[in-house]
Structure 1
Amino acid sequence: MKWIKWIVGGLLLIPVLALVALLLVPSERIARLAVARLGEATGREVSLSGDVELSLFPVLGLSAGGLEIADADWAGEGAMLSSARTEIGLDALALLGGEIRITHIEALSPTLRLEQRKDGRANWRFIEGAGDTAAGGSETGQGGRALSIERLQLTNATLVYAREGEAAMRIDGVDLAMDWPEPQGPATLTAALRPAGSPVTLDVDVENFASFLDGKLERLEARLTGPGGALSLGGRATLQGALAGNLAFEADDLQAFATGLGAAPGTLPPWLGRTGDIKAQMTLTDDGDLALRDLVADIGGNVLRGTFDSSFGATPKIAAKLQAGALDFSALATAPSRGGEAATDEQRSEGWPREDIDAALLAAFDGDIELQAESIRLGALELGATKVALRNERARMVFDLQEVAAYGGSLTGEFVMNNRRGLSVGGDLRARGVEMNPLLEALFGVTRFSGSGDARLSFLGSGQNVEAIMNSLSGSGSFEAGRGTIKGIDLDALLGSVDVKGGSTVFDSLAGSFAIENGVLRNDDLLLTLPNLNATGRGEIGLGAREIDYTVIPRALRVNSGRGLAIPVRIAGPWADPKIRPDVKGALDLNLSEQKKRRAEKARRELEDALREQMGEPVEAPAEALEAPLPAEPAAPQQPQPVPQPQPVPERSLEDILKDEIQDRLARELLKIFD
């Protein structure tokens, strides 16, 4: 029993003696040994600042005013890691055996700078060269002993990441923890970031962390979780950034997720949608080249499938081929569904927006994107099978409408946005066989026109806002339609009866052309033909000023002794409230000009004859009188005729009478076209 007591007592005495021995060793000496060991393992200069204290509880270790690990020789100025307060945990048994084994490092308010060069060098790779092992490996290439850090914790850290040729990224308020219990085993890293106040967490599991730090390809699982969504990656990766595996992204609030990562509120456009669900096979090189295969992206209910490739450099390059079913971008459209009902009179009269257009996106990337969709909905505007290609190069973006089915016909052409030397927009668009009724109803709320036709439009405008662009527009175009109808008004009957109500106008053709200069569209050859009537038109439409001054002249062909009856209708004023009235003076000029000439000539001859008789001069017989047969008996001498006196002007002129008769009726009927 005595031997047993001595053995037990000896065992209990060993820890006591160890603690006494540790207390007898100066803390400064332990600190110097720990610093030397850390510097030997990293190949960098390491220093502690401030007072150094030795602590025994809760773990054996050192507490110092600050820790600083120097950066690589090729990196920028300053330390790679510097902290205001540092605690270093040590393995007591290893320390008694003369081994400095650092079990954990905790740093308060540190600054961690990570830098990477294009040639693959990174300042977190402490030992360079073949056969070298990074911190945490078994041996260094310089004969150093093993370094094992079971836990690393950074609290309220500032993280700075700089990649050669790119702007440095800085994140404040980062909490980072790494658990690495076995030098050749797995490691778990957890980071909490607050770019916008709300916490964003990153969890990473690496299968062999020592090999991963040495730049080798290792299995990795990562998940980024933020407000409203999460992004996960699973596959094989290297410390330099190369990765191959599965990508999955789910968000029930895309804007909240983007804001949580530091984006400004409202960065994402509303038409993008609220939710997101993306899955793909992902390959990322350490140079930043990204490839997505088997891509399925559901953004706000719009599902896209295909491939996506990008390379990141001074100007990122993007190439994508996407297919889709029915796409709904109704939120893109702000136009009302019927004739401007969604906008107030005040809003319609305000004019074009004057806010500068942010065209920075045009210079943000170069690329080629192809899209095929079964249908696309843009508010009230609906397109059928669509095939478009987008090409962007040096801030010049071209939308190539290769095939767009729309309203029974097709749309083709190009639309261009150029921001190389200030913003400009232009295009060359063609429409073939398009049904007017659904198209005009979708765009302007006009429902009374029907028929199919063709159109062409070429235009160019420049300016930093919509108002400037609309006032600078130039170009040309034409339109042509075959047989169609105008419901609610019978132009043929209107010119022949004062009691016409309702009905329809069936026209044989509609055609015209126009030119645009300085934001003003001019047309002088509008022609609408019917069996018994035609209508011509000419005038100006101020695209920039949002004003119109246009005259339409319907002409009945079977009245007025076959010469036709024309009643011009003038449409003038601002778009928000144009005035539509018959041009009675123009009607008189058009329809009574011949009668006026004949009456004026007859009055002139009568006046000349009367003056000659008074002066005793012979009066010339009119031509029709010379051709008449001579009378049987001599005619009695004619008495001098009095000079015709001017007839009193009637109280109401013919113009006033016609105006009262047709103005209200004609204006009211023509306005029905725009109901």
Structure 2
Amino acid sequence: MKWIIRIIGFFLILFLVAGISLFFLPADRIAKLAADQIRTATGRDVSITGDVSMTLWPVLGVSVGGLEVGNADWSEQGPMLTAENAAIGVDVMALLRREIRITNIEATRPTIRLESRRDGRASWVFTDASGEAQIETEVAPATRTPQAVWIENLSVTDATLIYDAEGADLVSYSDVDLTLEWPERLGAAEVAASLNPAGSEVNVRATIGGFAGFITGQVQTIDATVSAGRGTLALNGRGSTAGDVAGRLTLDMPSTDDFLAALDLPAPGLPQGLGQSVDLSADLTLTADRRLSLRDLQVDLGGNALAGAADISLNGKPQINAQLNAGALDLSGAGSSEAGSGGGGGGTPAGSGWPTGRIDASGLAGFDGQIALTARSIDLGQFKLGQTRTLLRNERSRMVFELREVAAYNGTVTGEFVMNNRSGLSVGGKLFANGIDMQAVLRDAAQIERLTGAADAEMSFLGSGQSVDAIMKSLSGQGAISFGQGTILGIDLDRLMRSGSVGGGTTVFDSLGATWTIDGGVMRNNDLLLKLSNYEARGAGQVGLGMQTIDYTFTPVALRANAGNGIAIPVRMVGPWSDVSIRPDLEAAIDLNFSEEKERVKQQARDAVRAKVAEELNVTDEGQDLEDAAKQKLEDEVKRGILKLFD
């Protein structure tokens, strides 16, 4: 029992001596000790300025008027951390065990600068962070064995966080609160941050396994989430401070605009079905040189589901190479979105004019690269497509849709469509169609249903302007079309040729072909030829693609009528697309069919007039010119009148 009392007494004396020794240590010495341990742990210069005060219990530590932690030697942005005042605490009992355990670091209103470079360097990777340090005092031998050191708690309040990634815009957030809880040196750490960049709180939470290795650049397990604007971004995988990340990425954004607005990023105002909401999951790999790989990608863009894979380079403007597969894509909202073309698309009535809202094509500058898309069907609102294989190429705001295989209107379409926004918006393309149901196409394009049949066509076009209306009014190009058997609804050529009536009926034709040119939004054609068993018809005129009007003359000819010479009755179609007037051109019909009779009647009239004039002029010589006779009679009358003046 005496020995037990002696041992307890010995330890009491030891603790008393240690406590008195610590009490007489100057505060600036404690501050220097803490700064040395931070310097050893990070490999960065650490300086403490301002007044220094010391606390003894429950934590041995100091409060300083200012703290500064240096940046990487390649950085040109100043210190990595500066704080107006800070508190640094050291565990007393750990000191007695010759361990350096920094129990807490608290910083108020600090500025934290983080930088990364394209070559993979990052300012938060500590080049000399061995995680080991030693206590160096005036009486401690220099060869003393290094002792373990770690920061158990870190608390940052009202911070300004600045992130400078080479090749990208500077990102800066203020009013940031950050905490780190690292209870075991070889264990996991909990990191939490909250910020309010745009009036809505953003929270970041992460659990990092083996945090001691993580801060030295080793790959460790990571479970992290970012919550903002009712959305959540989560990663479960592995990563390192060098920028290497791999794992399962999930993104749940009920509103893309709200999520980005919470991060103080511009809201894209995406159309319905194209990202107004996003539900995404993928296997992600991100390398230190900012190359992103997505595999087993599954994404729902608010009704449109896509699957596939993508490789993206994030050094500067994103470079994308992706292959995507979709089922039925509904893109009908793209044309009518307020953020899209300014309104109007498939729902605009024919003849009422094209949408005049400004088209915002700035998104074409958002990335370069190639995206291959396969879809079971695509609903464009105004047009409907079936099985589609297309390749999208975008380079410096010039996007090319290469139509490799498009099933449309019971036929196929190939070619390319181009949108160019390098110096103002222009659209153009070259398309080839085979076996297209023209009634369905014209119904969707202009609500015209009079022409039926399968057609082969080719066309090229180019238009420019910042609205659909401006583009349609500036169109230029050319094309050709040919039909097999088909019908023209609303015109019965047989009835027309027999009775002159154009009311109702249907004309069945054997073939139809035409070529055209487009200039200033007006399509002109003068060689339309339609063939029937007993008739043929030719057409010429123009269609105002920009003004949505038509002025076209269609001339059917009865080949076997008029003793085999044929009878032609032109029909003129004129008016807006929504109300086309169809009527026979009787004056043209007379000119075409009765030109000889008309000339004969004119000659008979001339002969009758001549006879009457000759009678009045008393002309008996049939060879005498009536004009000369009239002049002679006038002279005679004048002479007689003058002679009467002298009577």
Q: What range describes the TM-score normalised by the shorter chain of this pair?
A: 0.7 to 0.9
Aligned to 1:50: 50
Q: Give the CA deviation at 1:529.
A: 4.0
| CA deviations over 1:268-293 (Å, ceiling 9, x no partner) | 33331544332322221111111222
**Distance change >3 Å, CA 520–CA 500, structure 1 → 2:** closer
Aligned residue-pair number: 607
Q: Give the CA deviation at 1:150.
A: 0.3
Counterpart amino acid of 1:32? K
**Distance change >3 Å, CA 547–CA 59, structure 1 → 2:** farther
2:416–2:431 CA contact under 8 A, matched in 1: yes
Among 177, 180, 190, the residue aligned to 1:178 = 180
Q: Give the CA deviation at 1:582.
A: 5.5
Among 129, 133, 157, the residue aligned to 2:129 = 133
1:68–1:81 CA contact under 8 A, matched in 2: yes
Structure 2: which 5+ residue stretches go unaligned? 136-142, 338-343, 625-647
Aligned to 1:457: 459
Structure 1 stretch displaced more, 283-292 or 480-489: 480-489
Structure 1 stretch displaced more, 411-420 or 607-616: 607-616
1:40–1:144 CA contact under 8 A, matched in 2: no
Counterpart amino acid of 2:399? M
1:510 aligns with 2:512: yes
**Distance change >3 Å, CA 566–CA 502, structure 1 → 2:** closer
Q: Give the CA deviation at 1:518.
A: 3.2
Aligned to 1:551: 553
Aligned to 1:227: 229
1:105–1:152 CA contact under 8 A, matched in 2: yes
| CA deviations over 1:351-391 (Å, ceiling 9, x no partner) | 55363x44443343322221122222222522111111112
- The DSSP-based 3-state class of the residue aligned with 1:361 is helix
Among 317, 327, 330, the residue aligned to 1:328 = 330
1:325–1:374 CA contact under 8 A, matched in 2: yes
1:612–1:619 CA contact under 8 A, matched in 2: no
**Distance change >3 Å, CA 421–CA 251, structure 1 → 2:** closer
Aligned to 1:566: 569
Q: Give the CA deviation at 1:440.
A: 2.5
Counterpart amino acid of 1:353? T
Structure 1: which 5+ residue stretches go unaligned? 621-675
2:312–2:319 CA contact under 8 A, matched in 1: yes
2:317–2:367 CA contact under 8 A, matched in 1: yes
1:61–1:87 CA contact under 8 A, matched in 2: yes
Residues of 1 paired with 2:503 and 2:550: CA distance? 28
- The DSSP-based 3-state class of the residue aligned with 1:147 is strand
Residues of 2 paired with 1:458 and 1:247: CA distance? 44
**Distance change >3 Å, CA 24–CA 398, structure 1 → 2:** same
Aligned to 2:68: 68
Aligned to 2:400: 398
Residues of 2 paired with 1:476 and 1:21: CA distance? 97
Q: Give the CA deviation at 1:405.
A: 0.9
- The DSSP-based 3-state class of the residue aligned with 2:273 is helix
| CA deviations over 1:305-330 (Å, ceiling 9, x no partner) | 22211222244322112222222222
Among 594, 598, 619, the residue aligned to 1:615 = 619
1:493-532 → structure 2 map (5 Å cutoff): 493-494=495-496, 496-497=498-499, 502-531=504-533
Counterpart amino acid of 1:461? G
Residues of 2 paired with 1:15 and 1:137: CA distance? 26
1:364 aligns with 2:366: yes
- The DSSP-based 3-state class of the residue aligned with 1:438 is helix
**Distance change >3 Å, CA 488–CA 510, structure 1 → 2:** same
Residues of 2 paired with 1:219 and 1:544: CA distance? 61
Aligned to 1:123: 123
- The DSSP-based 3-state class of the residue aligned with 2:333 is helix
Structure 1 stretch displaced more, 286-295 or 261-270: 261-270
Q: Give the CA deviation at 1:586.
A: 4.1
Aligned to 1:167: 169
Aligned to 1:106: 106
1:631-670 → structure 2 map (5 Å cutoff): none
Identical-residue share of aligned pairs (%): 47
Structure 1 stretch displaced more, 320-329 or 27-36: 27-36
Aligned to 1:276: 278
Residues of 1 paired with 2:378 and 2:304: CA distance? 10
**TM-score normalized with structure 1 length:** 0.79
Among 288, 291, 298, the residue aligned to 2:290 = 288
Aligned to 2:41: 41
Q: Give the CA deviation at 1:477.
A: 0.7
Residues of 2 paired with 1:371 and 1:404: CA distance? 11
1:589-600 → structure 2 map (5 Å cutoff): 589-600=591-602
Q: Give the CA deviation at 1:178.
A: 1.1
Residues of 1 paired with 2:243 and 2:373: CA distance? 30
1:601 aligns with 2:597: no
Residues of 1 paired with 2:316 and 2:259: CA distance? 27
- The DSSP-based 3-state class of the residue aligned with 2:150 is coil
| CA deviations over 1:2-30 (Å, ceiling 9, x no partner) | 99999989988987886666554443332
1:339-418 → structure 2 map (5 Å cutoff): 342-343=347-348, 348-349=352-353, 353=356, 355=358, 357-418=359-420
Residues of 1 paired with 2:197 and 2:366: CA distance? 23
- The DSSP-based 3-state class of the residue aligned with 2:528 is strand
Residues of 2 paired with 1:343 and 1:137: CA distance? 72
Residues of 1 paired with 2:515 and 2:577: CA distance? 21
**Distance change >3 Å, CA 162–CA 192, structure 1 → 2:** same
Residues of 1 paired with 2:274 and 2:594: CA distance? 62
**TM-score normalized with structure 2 length:** 0.82
Q: Give the CA deviation at 1:457.
A: 1.1
1:363–1:395 CA contact under 8 A, matched in 2: yes
1:200-211 → structure 2 map (5 Å cutoff): 200-211=202-213
- The DSSP-based 3-state class of the residue aligned with 2:608 is helix
Aligned to 2:444: 442
Residues of 2 paired with 1:518 and 1:342: CA distance? 24
Q: Give the CA deviation at 1:151.
A: 0.9
Q: Give the CA deviation at 1:108.
A: 1.8
**Distance change >3 Å, CA 168–CA 363, structure 1 → 2:** same
- The DSSP-based 3-state class of the residue aligned with 1:482 is strand
Q: Give the CA deviation at 1:92.
A: 2.4
Counterpart amino acid of 1:54? M
| CA deviations over 1:70-129 (Å, ceiling 9, x no partner) | 222321132110123322222123456787642111112211111223444332233x3x
Q: Give the CA deviation at 1:242.
A: 0.9
2:41–2:133 CA contact under 8 A, matched in 1: no
| CA deviations over 1:122-145 (Å, ceiling 9, x no partner) | 32233x3xxx434x45689x9975
Residues of 1 paired with 2:4 and 2:108: CA distance? 48
| CA deviations over 1:597-626 (Å, ceiling 9, x no partner) | 111111223344555674233699xxxxxx
1:137–1:184 CA contact under 8 A, matched in 2: no
Q: Give the CA deviation at 1:264.
A: 2.4
Q: Give the CA deviation at 1:198.
A: 2.0
Residues of 2 paired with 1:299 and 1:201: CA distance? 24
**Distance change >3 Å, CA 341–CA 66, structure 1 → 2:** closer
Counterpart amino acid of 1:37? Q
**Distance change >3 Å, CA 412–CA 548, structure 1 → 2:** same
Residues of 2 paired with 1:99 and 1:247: CA distance? 39
1:308–1:318 CA contact under 8 A, matched in 2: yes
1:89–1:102 CA contact under 8 A, matched in 2: yes
Structure 1 stretch displaced more, 503-512 or 381-390: 503-512
Aligned to 1:673: none
Counterpart amino acid of 1:383? L
Residues of 1 paired with 2:557 and 2:410: CA distance? 32
Counterpart amino acid of 2:419? M
Counterpart amino acid of 2:129? T
**Distance change >3 Å, CA 138–CA 488, structure 1 → 2:** farther
